[in-house]
Homo-oligomer: A and B are copies of this chain.
Amino acid sequence: MAASNQKGAAAIAANANAPPLLDLTIDNITPNTIRINSQSNNARLTYVMARLVTHLHDFARETRLSTDEWMASLQFLIACGQICSDVRNEFILLSDVLGLSLLVDNINHPKPPLGTEGSVLGPFHTHDAPVLANGSSMTSDPDGEPMLAVCTVKDTQGKPIAGVTIDIWETDSSGHYDVQHADRDAPSERCVMVSDDQGRFWFKGLKPVSYPIPHDGPVGKLLERLNRHCWRPAHVHFMFSKDGWDKLVTALYLRGDPYETSDAVFGVKQSLVIDLDKVDKETAEKYGVQEGSWLLKHDFVLTTQEETEKLRDQLAVEALEKLGLRLKLVDHLPVPDLD
C-alpha cells in the first residue's frame, strides 16, 4: 500500500487482519466481509455481524435476488424508517409480523412452569403514561364498555410482590391507541401503576376490542401482498418491572375473539387467554363501579432475574449445542469459543 497521511489508510495498513479486498465474487465476498468486520476487539459484535452477513448473503444467493428486488427492499426499508415518529415504530411492527418479536421475547424471557408467559411488546408502548393510584380510571373514552381490572402480582411461591411498576395500555373502543389519533394531546387508555404491599393493583379501563395493526404504511402493504389479515385479537398490554425481577412484557387476550388463533403478530398464548366476569353487587360497591360491568381478574407471577438468567443460559447452551455451534456465554450472550 502506498504511503499515505490519511488516517484511515494508516489504520487499515496497521491491521494485519484486513484482507486485500479486490475482485470479490459471489463465492468469496462473505468471508472477506466477515474478516473486515472482525477488527473491533468486541467478540460479541464480531460474532453478531458475522452471522448477520452470512445470513444476508446466503439469502441473496439462495434467492438469486434480482437488482429490482434489492432496490424494492431498500425502498421498503426507507419507507418504514420515514413513517416512524415519536409515537409510531414501523420497524417494531415489521419485526412483529415477521415473528421476530415473539422469538426474541421467547429467547430472552423463558419462564419456569409457574411464571406468567410473555407476549409481544408491540409498537404502542409510550413513556408518557401517567402514574395512577389504585382504583383510578385510565380511560377518557365515553363509548367503550367499562371494565374493572383487579389483579395481583406474586412470585412463584405465591408471595405478593410489592412496589412493582406496571405499565398498562390498550386501545379505545374504536380499536385505536391514543397515539394513533392525530389530535392526541394527552395519554389515554394507558397508565402506570404500582403494586401495593399485598401485590395488588386495580384500575378502571375498557373491555378490549380486536383491532387492525396500522396498515396505512409499508408493513400494511406487505401484509396485503402476502394476503394476510392485519387483525389482533382483543387484549390488554401489561409490563412489569422491579429490580431483581425479570421484566415481564405480556398481554391478556379475551377468549372467543375471532382472531384468537390468527393474531397478525403471533402474540397469543393459551395461558394468557382469559374469560371476563361481570361485576357483582358487592364488588361494585367496593370499587365504585357499576354492577354488571365487565370484570377482569388475574394473578400475574414474576420470576426473579437470577432464576430467569440461569434458565436462559441453560437453554442457550442446549440450543447452541443442538445447532452444532461451538460457543461460550460471556455476559449471558454467546461468542465463539476459541479456546
A interface with B by C-beta (< 8 Å)? 1-4, 6-9, 11-12, 15, 18, 20-26, 29-30, 32-33, 36-37, 39-42, 45, 47-49, 51-53, 55-67, 69-70, 74, 77-82, 84, 89, 91-92, 95, 98-109, 210, 212, 225-231, 256-263, 266, 268-270, 312, 316, 319-320, 323, 325, 332-334
Contacts and interface: CB of A to CB of B under 8 A. Distances in A.
B29 A103 contact: yes
A58 B29 CA distance: 21
Contacts of A37: 226, 228
A9 B78 contact: no
B62 A325 contact: yes
B78 A78 contact: no
A18 B228 CA distance: 9
B70 A95 contact: yes
11 contacts: A1-B258, A2-B256, A8-B231, A9-B229, A33-B98, A45-B226, A48-B65, A64-B312, A64-B319, A74-B92, A82-B84
Most chain B beta carbons < 10 A, residue from A58, A84, A229, A230: A229
A79 B91 CA distance: 11
Contacts of A60: 100, 103-104, 107
Contacts of A12: 228-229, 259, 262
Given A41-B227, A212-B8, A225-B45, A268 B21 contact: yes
A6 B62 contact: no
Contacts of A23: 268-270
Please give the count of copies of this chain that the complex contains.
2
A56 B226 contact: no
A329 to B, nearest CB: 8
A188 to B, nearest CB: 24
Nearest to A18: B262
Contacts of A104: 60, 65-67, 70
A125 to B, nearest CB: 11
A102 B212 contact: no
Contacts of A268: 21-23
Nearest to A83: B81
Nearest to A222: B49
B26 A107 contact: yes
A330 to B, nearest CB: 12
Contacts of A18: 262
A262 B9 contact: yes
Contacts of A11: 227, 229
Nearest to A68: B108
A218 B312 CA distance: 31
Contacts of A33: 98-99, 266
Given A32-B99, A33-B266, A64-B334, 18 more contacts: A1-B258, A2-B257, A8-B259, A9-B259, A12-B228, A12-B259, A22-B270, A52-B59, A56-B100, A57-B103, A61-B107, A62-B320, A62-B325, A70-B95, A70-B101, A74-B89, A77-B91, A82-B84
